[in-house]
Structure 1
Amino acid sequence: MSSAAVAAWPDDRPIQVYVGFAAGGGTDTMARTMAPYIQKYLGGRATLVVQNKPGAAGEIANIGLMHAPADGYTIGVVNLPAMAFGPLYRKTQFDPGALRLVARVLSDPTILVARKDSPYSTLGDVVAALKKRPGALTFGHNGVGTNGHLALLQLQNAGGVKLTDIPFNGTSQSKTALFGGHIDFAAVTTGEMQDAGKEAVPLKILAQMSDRRAASLPNVPTAREQGIDDVMPAERGIAVPAGVAGPAVARLAAAIEATLKDPEYLKKAGNDAPVLAYLKGDEWAREIAGRQAVLRKLAGSMPKE
């Protein structure tokens, strides 16, 4: 990206924003809600246009972003842990090192939920039951490599138990299965479960897989508080092809940070508002690198593709 191109960016044409999931989902909604504010804080004639490229837990969009020109006119929403985990357990066309992280936008704890009438109220109850009857309890999640799936793998490993995990194509499907009693538990995020007791069928939260209790769930203990080392947030942020010039990356990061502090945006952020967690791209990259040992261990317990 030449100095002349940096000087023109982002005014001379629209910035494409790749989203690896279908329109209407959480990632898409976040991108479309943020876009007008990022435009505002980039200034000039900046324009962001969201493009949905769903498939393979975001990998299709990541591959497209990896191969896009490094001119600042293609950016993407990336989802963790899927982006980092996929290449660890299967052959993939995507290389996380080909992207540069600009900023983390949110970090949403994974939570384990059950029907309110479930006989299980703590992780201890669940582990004890699985020790007596390995594989007897069923757990829904949103697919291989997602935060829910990896949180359940960690629960299995840390608890020394065997559970039966069932992938779904989205949280609405796993919740419907839970409502109907077809599964015993579902691993979702706090943003997807704003008030468990007021769902179509009342639910309860057994644990949150986070370093500390979320502000929105002050009375729900973490897995660690219950003796199980299980931390697995769902994170979203913005990335660009690795070759994008530093000044453009810094300007985009500043616009994202300003967006997350904008009172008007915060009113529109909906379920994302309580879990917004800005972090500069290089700091986020260091955090992700620090989790690689855990992810590799989890990948080692996966069947190879």
Structure 2
Amino acid sequence: MVTSRRLMLGGTLALPALAARAQDRPIQIHVGFAAGGNIDLAARMAAPFLEKYLGPGNQIIVANKPGAGGMLMLNEVAAAAPDGRTAALVSFPALVTALYDNTPRYRVDSFAYAGLLTDEPYTVFVGNDTPYRSLRDLVAAARAAPETVTIAGAGVGGAPHLAMMAIERAAGVKFTWVPTQGAAQAMQLVQGGHVAGSISTVSLTVRAHQQGALRVVAIMERERWDKAPDLPTGAEQGVAVVAGSARGFALPAATPPAIIARWEEAIARTAADPEFRGMAERDFVIVRHMDRPTMTRFVGDQARIYGEIWRATPWRQ
């Protein structure tokens, strides 16, 4: 069973509809990566439930705004009107790592964090036509020929990139990172034989592995996952790296507290909804809810942790 890395909390506040004066346009949930990736799929899964719990007249559309590892989308949402009609499904650590290796127009306190929804471990996967049958094979190839084994993933300095760097440090090898606009594009490069492998969450890769569309060679968790017990951990193969991606909702910091409270309750009710949880189970999405205060503390911890990592070992030269 996958071990929990995050605290799970919920709430049961009353939930009126958002202010009528802002209901002349749909709510947009912005995703900072191309359609078809793990974050995009999570946003589209959650959208109809959030519509229901935010109340009548709150149509939601998912808007993909790829670029710079999600930074361009975050800049846009931070500057959006604080009326509850613009939110982002943000990914960690990508939101905080961009603060160190780029020059974004947002800061950690540019957002009100309404609640975390999912938190999934990463997998390392390769194409079926590669010679690699395990993470050991991939590491051995990189050790024999440094920087010749290509690994693709979303952006530079985001969670997949940092997970690859952690594998490099743990194994004493060097890969070549190929940044993409999202996990879906990285998967296409793997399946097309353009790169050796990639790193992404279980919700995007495990079903494809079971269907024979690609080969997962490791799950980056402390122990095997009970839904896919055939997948070995990195630790079993001599690379004890635990990594994953957490996702939650953020709105512009100036959004009124009453609107944030409605979003917080809608997220909590979505996370607890039996239909949503059934869909998540079906699609290998791991639901781990945090309320607003807990997510806000989590974001602060992430900023501190990755700031320390950046100062010690910068991921962009």
Equivalent AA in structure 2 for residue 242 of structure 1? A
Aligned length: 297
1:185 counterpart (197, 206, 214): 197
How far apart, in 2, do the equivalents of 1:11 and 1:142 lie? 38
CA contact (8 A) 1:110 1:234 kept: yes
**Superposed counterparts of 1:1-12, under 5 Å:** 9-12=18-21
SS in 2 for 1:302: coil
| Partner of residue 55 from structure 2, selected from 26, 29, 43 | 43
Q: TM-score, normalising length from structure 1?
A: 0.82
Equivalent-residue separation in structure 2 for 1:229 and 1:87 (angstroms): 27
The aligned counterpart of 1:218 is 229
Asked if residue 205 in structure 1 is aligned to residue 220 in structure 2, the reply is no
Matching residue within 66, 70, 93 for 1:58: 70
User: What residue identity is the alignment partner of 2:254?
Assistant: G
Residue 268 of structure 1 and its aligned partner are, at CA, apart by 4.8
**CA–CA separation in structure 2 for the residues paired with 1:47 and 1:98:** 25
CA distance in 2, matches of 1:285, 1:176: 35
Name the residue aligned to 2:314: 301
Distance 1:281 1:60 in 2: 24
What are the equivalent positions in structure 2 for 1:1-305 lying under 5 Å apart? 9-14=18-23, 16-19=27-30, 20-23=32-35, 25-43=37-55, 45-116=57-128, 118-193=130-205, 194-200=207-213, 203-269=214-280, 272=283, 274-291=285-302, 292-294=304-306, 296-297=308-309, 300-304=313-317
Normalising by structure 2, what TM-score? 0.79
**Which structure 1 segments of 5+ residues have no match?**
1-5
Q: Work out the percentage of aligned pairs sharing the same amino acid.
A: 29
In the alignment, the residues of structure 1 paired with residue 222 and residue 19 of structure 2 have an alpha-carbon distance, to the nearest angstrom, of: 38
SS for the counterpart of 2:285 is helix
| Aligned-partner SS, 1:274 | coil
Structure-2 separation of matches of 1:117 and 1:249: 48
- Name structure 2 gaps, 5 residues minimum: 1-14
Q: Which residue of 2 aligns with 1:3?
A: none
Mark the CA change 1:62 to 1:294 in structure 2 (over 3 Å): closer, same or farther: closer
| Amino acid corresponding to residue 181 of structure 2 in structure 1 | N
Structure 1 residue 86, shift from structure 2 partner: 0.8
Separation in 2 of the partners of 1:240 and 1:128? 44
> Cα offset for 1:205?
1.8
The answer to whether the Cα contact below 8 Å between 2:34 and 2:184 also exists between their aligned partners in 1 is: no
